[in-house]
A and B are shown apart, each in its own frame.
Chain A
Amino acid sequence: MNTFVRNARVLRRMTVADIVQQSIYRGAWIIFMAANICVPIISLLIWRTAIANGAGLPVDEQYITTYFVLLSFVTMATSSWMTGFLADDIRLGKLSRWMVRPASLLLGFVSNNLSEKFLKAFALGPMIGVLWWIFRASMKIPAGPGRWAVFAVSVVLAAVLVFTIDILIGALAFWMDDVAALAQARLIIASVLSGSVVPLALMPDWSRTFVDYQPFRYTVSFPVEIVAGGLSGSDLLVGLGIQLAYVLGFGVIARRVWSAGIRAYSAVGA
C-alpha cells in the first residue's frame, strides 16, 4: 500500500473517530457554536443601526450586511483550535503516543481540524441559513459562479493559513513553558486585523497599505471581500497571490520550527 493511500485511510479513520468523540459532548457544542455566531450578529446590528442613524461610512448597508452574514460562515470554515491542544500535547508529553506510531503527526492535527469543521457545519449551518433568510433583501451577492469559485478557493487557503499559524504558535511549546499568553495575544490581534470585528474597509486611510498586506486579512476578510464586493479582477489575482504566498511562507516556517522542536522534545512524563 503506498504512503498516500495509507495516510488517506488513516485520516478518514481518525476524522471519523474524532467526530464520534467530540459529538459526545453535544450540549456544550451547541452552546459553543451559538456563542460563536453571536459576535457577527451583534456587529451586524450595530453597524446597521449606525448607518440607519446617518453615520458616514465608506461602505453602504448592503456591503455591511453581506459582509457580516458571510463572515459568520468564513469564520466557521477557517477557524482552528489547534494551538491549545498542541501546546498541551507537547508540554504534558502526550505527543509521544503519536510519535511511536507509523503515521504523520500532521494527520492527527488535520483530522482534529476537519472533525471540528464538520461538527461546526452541522451546528452552525442552520443558524447561518436563518441569518441569510432574514437579511436576504439587504444583501448584494454576485450572480455568476465565477466569484463563488474564487471565494471557495480563497476560503480553503484561509483555512490552511489559520491552521498553519496555529501549528506554528503551538509548536513554540517545545521551548516555552506556556504559550497561552501568546495564543491569546494572537487571538486579539487577529480579531481586529482579520476583519472579524470591524470590516477592514472601515479602517482609516493612513493604515490602508498595512491593512491590505498584513497576513490576518487573508484569514477572514479577503474571502468575504471577494463576494461582498469592492475588489476588481486584478485585486482578486493579486490578493490570491498574496494569500498563497502567506500559506507557503508560514508553512515553511512552521515546518522548520516543528522539526527543530521535535529535536528538543523531552517527552515529559511519558
Chain B
Amino acid sequence: MNAISDVPSTQPPVIAARDLTKTYTFHQQRAGLGGALTSLVRRKYETRLAVDRISFGIERGEVVGLLGPNGAGKTTTLKMLSGLLYTTSGDLEVLGFTPSDRKHDYLRRIALVMGQKSMLWWDIPAMESLLLHKDMYGLDKDEFEHNVAELAELLDVQDLLNIQVRKVSLGERMKLELMAALVHGPEILFLDEPTIGLDVVAKARVRSFLAEVNKLRGTTILVTSHDMDDIEALCSRVMIIDHGRLQYDGSLDELVRTTRPRKLVRATYATVVDGHRLTSLDGVGAVESSGQRVSLEVDRERTGDVLEQLTRLGPLVDLDVADADVEDIMRDLFARRSTSEEAS
C-alpha cells in the first residue's frame, strides 16, 4: 500500500535542506593496556564527515524513506532535522524554523520516534506519559481525550494504557511510543527504525497505522529503516544516503526501473520442463531452469511475449511476475559502491 498525498505544487516544502553538512570529532584509541596508557598522555583526534553537503526538499504530506547502510549518515540527518544536532554548515529549514533553535512552536509541530530509545517512562503506565504530553503540548481536555481514543483504537492498545511500560511486549511498546508521539497531532513525524525488533504481525500493524495517519491527518513522514518492506509499504519516495552523500532521490519504482530494468518471472509446471529453450528469445536475460521450475529476467516491454512462450512450455501450475526485490537492489547497490571504493 502506497501512502501518497496530493500536494499542491505551489506550497513551499516543509523541509528544505541545502548543502547540509555535519562533522564529528572523536579520538582513536588502540585496544589493550598500551593503547589505554598512550591515550592518557596523547590522543589522536579525527574529524569524520557524517553528512556531506546534501540538498533536498520535502513537501507537506509526503512519506519519504531515508535509506543507506549503517553509518551512512541517515540518522545524523534525522537528528539535524529534529533539532537534536547543530549543523556544521549548510542551510536547513523545517516548517519555516531552524530546527537547532528548538523553538517551542517548532517542537510543538514535530515528533520523533526512535525504535531503539523509549520516549516513555519505563516504570509507570503509558497514560502518565500521555498526560505529561497533554500539559507539555498544551492540549485541552477534549482534544486530548479525542486523540487518545482515536489513536488507541487505531493501534488497538486500549487495554495497555494503564500497565507499566516495562511490562508490555516490544511490539506493544512501539505502538505506545507511536501513540505518545502522535497525541499532539504533529505535522511532521520523524521515525528512526520504527519496526526494529518487531515480529511480522507487529510490523504490519505499525506500517498500516502509519499509512493511515498519513492519509487521515496528512502528516509528513520521514522514516529511516533497514527493512525494505517498511519502505515499500509506506514510501512514495526514497532518498539513498551513502558515506554522507545523497546518492539517489526519487520514487522507489524509478529506482527499481533504473537499477533492475527487467521483470522477474517465475513459472511452476506440472511436469519437468526445459526452460533453457527460452534463452534465445528477444529480451530474455538470465534463465534458471530446474525440474518443474523456471525463473528468468525479462525486458519490461517483452514480458507479454515471453509469458505467451511460457504457456507453451508445459502445463502451467503457477506464474509470478514481479519487479526485482528491493532488498536485493539495495544490497547490490551498497555492495557495488563499497567494492568500487576499495578498488579505488
Give the B-binding residues of A (Cβ under 8 A).
1, 3, 6, 9-10, 12-14, 17, 20-21, 24, 93-94, 96-97, 99-103, 263, 265-267, 269-270
The bracket for how many chain B residues form the interface is 20 to 34
Q: Which chain A residue has the least Cβ–Cβ distance from B119?
A: A97
Contact residues in B for A20 (Cβ distance below 8 Å): 123-124, 128
**Is the Cβ of A10 less than 8 Å from the Cβ of B110?**
no
Interface: B141 (CB within 8 A): no
**Is the Cβ of A10 less than 8 Å from the Cβ of B136?**
yes
Interface: B205 (CB within 8 A): no
Interface: B257 (CB within 8 A): no
Q: Which of B24, B117, B121, B138 contacts A21 (CB 8 A)?
A: B121
Contact with A along B126-140 (1 / 0, CB 8 A): 001101110111100
| With known contacts A17-B128, A21-B121, A266-B24, A100–B83 Cβ distance under 8 A | yes
**Is the Cβ of B128 less than 8 Å from the Cβ of A265?**
no
**Is the Cβ of B132 less than 8 Å from the Cβ of A17?**
yes
Contact with A along B106-126 (1 / 0, CB 8 A): 011011101011110111100
Within the complex, what minimum Cβ distance (angstroms) separates B291 from chain A? 49
Q: Which chain A residue has the least Cβ–Cβ distance from B123?
A: A21
**Is the Cβ of B136 less than 8 Å from the Cβ of A101?**
yes
**Is the Cβ of B107 less than 8 Å from the Cβ of A14?**
no
Give the A-binding residues of B (Cβ under 8 A).
24, 79, 82-86, 102, 104-105, 107-108, 110-112, 114, 116-119, 121-124, 128-129, 131-133, 135-138
**Is the Cβ of A10 less than 8 Å from the Cβ of B135?**
yes
Q: Which of B83, B117, B136 contacts A103 (CB 8 A)?
A: B136
Contact residues in B for A17 (Cβ distance below 8 Å): 121, 124, 128-129, 132
Bound-state CA distance A96–B81 (Å) is 13
Within the complex, what minimum Cβ distance (angstroms) separates A21 from chain B? 5
| With known contacts A20-B128, A96-B114, A100-B107, A267–B137 Cβ distance under 8 A | no
Give 20 CB contacts A-B under 8 Å: A6-B138, A10-B136, A13-B132, A17-B124, A17-B128, A17-B129, A20-B128, A94-B117, A96-B79, A99-B84, A100-B84, A101-B136, A102-B136, A102-B137, A103-B136, A265-B85, A266-B85, A267-B79, A270-B79, A270-B114
Bound-state CA distance A265–B22 (Å) is 12
**Is the Cβ of A21 less than 8 Å from the Cβ of B102?**
no
Bound-state CA distance A216–B24 (Å) is 37
**Is the Cβ of A9 less than 8 Å from the Cβ of B137?**
no
Bound-state CA distance A97–B181 (Å) is 11
Bound-state CA distance A10–B131 (Å) is 9
**Is the Cβ of B123 less than 8 Å from the Cβ of A24?**
yes
Bound-state CA distance A55–B204 (Å) is 78
**Is the Cβ of B117 less than 8 Å from the Cβ of A100?**
no
Within the complex, what minimum Cβ distance (angstroms) separates A190 from chain B? 27
| With known contacts A9-B135, A14-B132, A94-B117, A100–B124 Cβ distance under 8 A | no
Q: Which of A3, A6, A14, A267 contacts B84 (CB 8 A)?
A: A267
| With known contacts A10-B132, A93-B117, A100-B107, A21–B124 Cβ distance under 8 A | yes
Within the complex, what minimum Cβ distance (angstroms) separates B115 from chain A? 11
The 8 closest A-B pairs by CB, nearest first: A102-B107, A9-B135, A100-B112, A267-B84, A102-B104, A21-B123, A102-B108, A1-B138
Bound-state CA distance A97–B192 (Å) is 13
Q: Which of A21, A100, A265, A269 contacts B110 (CB 8 A)?
A: A100
Contact residues in A for B117 (Cβ distance below 8 Å): 93-94, 96-97, 269-270
